[in-house]
Amino acid sequence: MELEYPAGGKYINQLLINNIIRAKANNHEDEQLFRIYNIEKNISNLVTVHAQHISYDLACVPVKAYTASTCSAAVSGLKTNAVVSSDVSNYTFYTNVTGAAQNTEGKFKIEEPIPLRSALLDGDDSIKGTFGGDLVFDNYNISLLKVGGADRGITIEYGIDMMDMALEETI
């Protein structure tokens, strides 16, 4: 999330690193929580605030090594194998994916501690990569579903619905 706010605005003192903003990400879902990670102040008296979905907090939560043969066991293992259980106490994890693992080993496996968010969605060895499905992030509720969205019959067209697109790389 990125927003611009007047430097002299009424709520400027609440726009601080690590604070949380509640905002609608789209017209179809409830408000979502975004944690502020960067604030830029410029000469035009505007403040640009960068925030990421609250689920990105899980990138700082290590998960111990474990193995699971079903998606349900893999998803519930995220919480039980988190190194610091208080870091995930607000989160719920759910799946309705019942199919077999899509890898040659036939199971999900973490061999050494990795960030919880990586275990969930980074690459073929993640839970999503192993069992398939769509991830849905709804504040502190994280679901891996057979189908996670809805076809609303809308086509996004460049120049009409989407005015610009950019790729930014950073370390």
Residues 63, 116 contacting (CB under 8 angstroms): yes
Q: For 87-122, how does the pLDDT look when each residue is reduced to its tens digit (9 = 90+)?
A: 889 999 999 999 888 888 889 999 999 999 999 998
Find out whether 130 and 108 touch, Cβ atoms under 8 Å. yes
Residue 155: predicted pLDDT: 81
Would you state the structure tokens that stand for residue 125, as one six-digit string? 């060895």
Cβ density class 56-91: b for 16+ within 10 Å, e for less: ebbeebbbeebebebbbebbebbbebbeeeeebeeb
Which stretches of the chain are DSSP H helices?
71-80, 116-121, 127-131
Give the per-residue pLDDT at 162: 78
Which region among 34-38, 73-77, 98-102 has the lowest average model confidence (pLDDT)?
A: 98-102
